[in-house]
Structure formats: C-alpha cells, structure tokens
Structure 1
Amino acid sequence: MSRNATTDTTKLGRRTFLAGSAALGAAAAAALPAPAIASGTIELRMVTSWPKGLPGAGTGAERLARTIEEMSGDRLKIKFFAAGELVPALKCMDAVMDGTADLGHDASFYHHGKNPAFSVFFAVPFGMTAQEQAAWIYHGGGWQLWDELNQKFGIISFPAGQTATQSFGWFKKEINSMDDFKGLKMRIPGLGGELLKRVGGSAVLLPAGEIFAALQSGAIDAAEFIGPLNDLALGFHQVAKISYGPGVQEPGGMMQLMVNRKKYEALPKDLQAIIRIAAQWMHEDMKVDYDIGSGRTMEVLRTQHNVRFLRLNNDVLTGLGNAAGQLLQDMMDAGDDHMKRTLKSYLAARDNTMRFLRFNEQAFLNARTLGIKYPTA
C-alpha cells in the first residue's frame, strides 16, 4: 500500500468495507450453479470472513484466489465472495463443510465453539510469534496435528496469511491495572477472549463489519481487530482514541485457507500442489503487507486523528501473562488426547524457537532502541 493509498483509505472511511447485506447474500446463493468442470476448467467457490476490499486480510484473500487461477493456467477458476455475499462472515467453515463453498479464507479461532483446539492454530496468548508459529506448523509437527483435527470436519487447511503481533485493542478509557478489566465488554475472539474472561471481562465475538457499530453504540466498551492497517479502514478512531499494545493475546495470527476435503482430494496432484503453494506464498505476502502498512497507518492515526498509542504497563502484562499460563494449564488438564498432544507440541516448539530468538533477534531489537544515530527517510 502506498502513502497515497493510505490517504485514500482515510477519505473513504468505513463505507467501502461495510457494503453487502443478507438479502444480497441469499440472492447470490440462489443464483449460483454447482461447481462444474467444463472444457478442462474446474470452477470453485471461495468465501471469506472479510468485508470486500478490507486491507490485508480481505485484499490478500482476493489476491490468493487470483494467484491460484494464474498458477493453474486457468484450469482452476475461482468465484470469490466477500463476507455476506454468499454466507455470513463467521459461517465460512460451515459453508466449506457442507459444500456451499469449495474454499474458505478466515481465522480458525472463529470456530472455537466447534473445538477449542482450533484457536491454538490461530494464536495463543503469550505464545509464539509469526515466525515461531510457522516453524511449528511447517517443521515442528503442527500441521499434522491441525490436519488430524480438520479431518473430523471434512476440511483441509493451509496457512494462508499472517497478521504478525496484533494490537491489544481500542479503548475509550485507560487500562492502568488489572482491576480495569473487571466488567469490561470487549470484542475479542478465541483464546484472547478466554483470557479476558479469566481477568473479569466479557468477550464478544463479532465479524469485522459489525465492530464499529457495537463500539459506537456502547454495546461493547473496547475492541481488537488486528492492527492499524485495518483499524483505520474500519473507523475505530472515530469512536475511541486509545490504542493499546502489545497484542499479547495474538502474538502471531495465522489465517487459513480451508478446502472441502473431498473436493481437494478429487483434484489432480498438480492442482493440489498449486493450492498448497499459493497459500504458503500468501502466508508471507500478507505478513509483509501488514508489516509495512500498519506502520504507515499508525502515523496517519497519530498525526491526523489524534489517536494515543499506549503500552500496557508491566503490572498489567504480568497479570495477563500469569492468567494466560493458567488458562493453558487448565486446557491441558481438561482437554482430550488431541488437545493435550497439540499443546505439548506447541509449548515444545515455543521453548525451542524462543531459546535462540531471545539470544539473537530479541537482543537486536533491543539494540535498536539505544538511541543510535541512524538516518531516517
């Protein structure tokens, strides 16, 4: 995203991202033919949880669909649907399971209610960063555990986007102690939501397109949704002026591309590989889009909209961290065999990746804060 594109997003505000209605979605569903194979072309339907044109997640999912088409030489043609155009934003997994859609792009923690382990494969509070999580998924046994879970629901999933460490959220009042979480109603899904409950708050699950209205009306007191790149587009700065970091609830948010398992297994091997490799490319592409775009829009929010970017103090971070540790211990103690094996694998990977990152990369990041004389743009 260029600086001009960021400015354009500011001017457009929220209108671009809140288009669509339930009636439109129903009409689209009724008019669609079943996926077809004609003249060597396989037609697939792809749904997402993201408002049309939403920077990062939304635009990335659409690029992924077009990339799969191009890599396949148009042997695969994908009909792309933003949130609400075919199914509601939080029903992507159901649509892929029942064949309404062939592919879906969303965040697995939206399906925490189906099985809490789905949240582990998106983000764990005080868990692994984006690169650590990728190491676990690709080289530490994480994907095999994820696929074991997905088989029960008739889908197969691939990492297909990363938000990196998210913001902690938007607040109308400062958070100065753990007592400030008591009674707080916050839009926060997955294990972050479970963490909030542990410290006395109430977690609310809402899709991106419904957060602004809930925050504006007072239905919720605070909200988190990735970070500045999306927050500017969704207009949160219009109703709240404090953005807290770091996003300890989601230190690395891994998006997924779901595919109906029967549909995927029926594809030729080369087309299966194209879907898998395109998803892996999007995993990196979306992360760097967020990396550079969030920094730019953070400055827009600070200088043009008077947003205060504050850091959670150490007492609050320690309180949240201890609550997160107890949450994971309780999940291991009460979980089924798969949950126990998943968390043990996750924690082993965290220990291994953190060992060298602490010594090397974290030390380097700390070194950049030492007041070194360095040119700026």
Structure 2
Amino acid sequence: MDRRSVIKHAGLAGILAAGAAPAVQAQPTIRWRLTSSFPKSLDTIHGAADVFAKKIGEMSGGKFQVSVHVPGELVPAFGVVDAVQQGTVEAGHTAPYYYFGKDDTFAIGTAIPFGMNSRQLTAWFYDGNGMKLMREFYDQYNIVNFPGGNTGAQMGGWYRKEIKSPADIKGLKFRVGGFAGKVLSRLGGVPQNIPGGEIYQALEKGTIDATEWVGPYDDEKLGFYKVAKNYYYPGWWEGGAQLDFYINKKAYNDLPNDYKAMVEAAASHAHTTMQAMYDARNPAALKRLVANGVKVQAFPKSVMDEAFKQAMELYEELSASNPNWKKVYTDYRNFQRDANLWFRFTEARFDSYMQSVKL
C-alpha cells in the first residue's frame, strides 16, 4: 500500500473514530396517489399521468411511487381540486378550466376562448409570468401546479346539423369544456359540462345536440362520428388547451429536494410527451374519419366574429369584477399580444406557405 493510500485510510478511520462521518442520506420510500379527470381509454390525455408516474419511479429507483387512479375510483372526474386541496390525495391531473365555478381564473390555466396557442402558453408559463401568477392564485387552494400536457389547437366539435350562422347556435345543447360555456351562453347556446366518459351516451340519446372533446384521435376513440357527421374547426375556445398536475402543498413541501426536482422534471416530460402524441396521431385519425363519411368544415367567419366579440366583452366584465382574474388575465393578454406579433412574421407565415404547397 502506498503512502497516499495509508494517509487516506488513516484519515477516514480518524474521522469515523471521532464520530464525525458525513451523513449519508438514504432516499425515503414515498407513496402518492394521483387522481385523473380522464378515462384510461384515452391513452393520450390520461396517458400523461401515466408518463409522469412512470418517470418519477424510474428517477427514484422505485423509492418514490405514484399510483394513477381513474375517475370514480377515488373521487369523481371533476373532484380533483377538492381532493388535492383537502389532502384526500397527494396529486391530481386535470384541466383547470373545469373549476371555473370556483373562480373564473382557473380557466386561464387551461384555455380561454381566443387565447394563446400551445407554444405561446408554454412560453408564458416557463419564461413569462404565467407560473408565478398561477402559483400565487393556486396557493389559495393549497395547490402547487405544474403544466401537465397540451392538446394543441382543438377541433370545434360534432354537430347533428350544420352551423351556417350565429343563429344556428341559439338553443343548441352543446357539451363544451368548462369556461367556454360562458361565451356559448352569450351566443344563445346551452352549455353542458359532461365528463369525457359520458359524452357519447348523451349525444346518442339526444340529451345534447353537439359536443366537442379534443381532436381526431380522441374523438374517433369516443365514437362521435357514429352519431353526428358534421365536424367543425377550429375550436376557437381552445387554441392550446393545457392540463395541470395539481400537488397538495403540504405533500409537496414535505418532499426532499431531490424528489421535488423529480416531480418538476417528470411533469415537464409528460407535458412534452402528451402534445407529441396528439401531433403524431391526429393526422391519420382525421383521414380515417373522412373515410367514414365525416364532413369536415370550417366555422363561418360570422360565427367566429360574433364569438370573438362576446368573449372580449366577457373578459372586460370579469376584469372589472374579479381581482384574481384581472391580475392574471392582464399579464396573459399582454404576453399574447407580443407573441402574436412575432408569430405573424415567423410561424404563421411559414405554416401558411407550407400548407399551400404539395410535398
């Protein structure tokens, strides 16, 4: 044994003898339950929670386990906020706009009519003030949020009858996600907030006249084309619908720092993976739907213009009456205004040209 090795081992022995050995922190074993708002059959939107849980398990060497539960197993589809807030579960995966009845500000966490697209929303959350402002808002509910996926711009839904003007919206019983129903109501429609797993039955029985969900891949799985053949675009109420992972504040704060980092990294991974799945799978699904006799058509400009007008008036009213909304929405809209200016010269023009040529 050489001189340096002797000194090294003697030094270590001395430290151990003195009781001053550096502490070795063993990772604790932690088990969390995560409740989802989405049925397992939708492998894209529900799948983001599975991706999140799997990645945490891998990063922790199996020490940190998250079990994912479907709606009704622990709490109802729309019970995620209450369950996480009260600590009934440690985590949830949901669309924040489902809870606009508690405060309209929740909707900004997912999508508002004529809001940001998915890239803009991600930029606002990760490099703008979005995360900070929404964290301040969610703190009232004992929730720490992380972006948990985005569908990209959605389709405008399935209709038994054609939509030719704003007049065709009047009296329409339309399943639409959360907050968008406020604008639909101003157009004379009758919004219905129904969980994804219950929509087909309602459409088939005529309980509703129309429905939207996400886009071709999910909509095909749910079978809407079997009941309604008119498929409209775009979903002006969801230009980039984001989901969130909601974490109970105490459960999150009790985590060791390395586990907190795992939660953040796993959420970001799931966020990216979910939109990649939609972007990869929607094109083929749309082709199949058209082959099954679906009529794909754009909303008339008159419908888009009237919906935009009603949405802007609604936002003015909310800004005057709800301080939470005003604080978050003002920053949101300022960010979107600048983002649109940039996208006008780059993304929009490039995309428009590429969609006009034959590849």
**TM-score using structure 1 length:** 0.86
The one-letter amino acid of 2:338's match is: N
Name the counterpart of 2:330. 344
Name the counterpart of 2:256. 268
Q: Structure 1 residues 78, 335: CA separation in 2 closer, same or farther (over 3 Å shift)?
A: same
The one-letter amino acid of 2:353's match is: A
| Residue of 143, 151, 158 corresponding to 1:170 | 158
Q: Structure 1 residues 250, 73: CA separation in 2 closer, same or farther (over 3 Å shift)?
A: same
| Residue of 148, 168, 179 corresponding to 1:191 | 179
The CA distance in 2 between the partners of 1:203 and 1:210, in whole Å, is 15
Name the counterpart of 1:235. 223
The CA distance in 2 between the partners of 1:260 and 1:293, in whole Å, is 33
| Residue of 236, 248, 262 corresponding to 1:248 | 236
Name the counterpart of 1:355. 341
Matched, 1:137 2:128: no
Question: Whose radius of gyration is greater, 1 or 2?
Answer: 2
The CA distance in 2 between the partners of 1:193 and 1:357, in whole Å, is 28
The one-letter amino acid of 2:339's match is: T
Greater than 4 Å deviation, 4+ residue runs: none
Displacement of 1:39: 8.7
Name the counterpart of 1:312. 299
The one-letter amino acid of 1:250's match is: E
The CA distance in 1 between the partners of 2:178 and 2:196, in whole Å, is 15
Name the counterpart of 2:75. 87
Contact 2:98–2:178 (Cα < 8 Å) also in 1: yes
> What pairs up with 1:1-377 in 2 under 5 angstroms?
40-303=28-291, 305-336=292-323, 338-370=324-356, 372-374=357-359
- In angstroms, what is the RMSD of aligned CA positions? 1.3
Query: What SS is found at the alignment partner of 1:152?
Result: helix
The CA distance in 2 between the partners of 1:78 and 1:55, in whole Å, is 18
Query: What SS is found at the alignment partner of 1:195?
Result: helix
Q: Percent identity?
A: 36
Contact 1:55–1:229 (Cα < 8 Å) also in 2: no
The CA distance in 2 between the partners of 1:61 and 1:306, in whole Å, is 33
The CA distance in 1 between the partners of 2:331 and 2:50, in whole Å, is 32
The one-letter amino acid of 1:169's match is: G
Query: What SS is found at the alignment partner of 1:126?
Result: coil
The one-letter amino acid of 1:230's match is: D
The CA distance in 1 between the partners of 2:183 and 2:358, in whole Å, is 40
Displacement of 1:60: 2.1
The CA distance in 1 between the partners of 2:223 and 2:72, in whole Å, is 20
Q: What residue ranges of structure 1 are gaps of 5+ in the alignment?
A: 1-37
The CA distance in 1 between the partners of 2:186 and 2:176, in whole Å, is 13
The CA distance in 1 between the partners of 2:299 and 2:75, in whole Å, is 37
Query: What SS is found at the alignment partner of 1:90?
Result: coil
Count of residues in Structure 1 that have an aligned counterpart in Structure 2 = 334
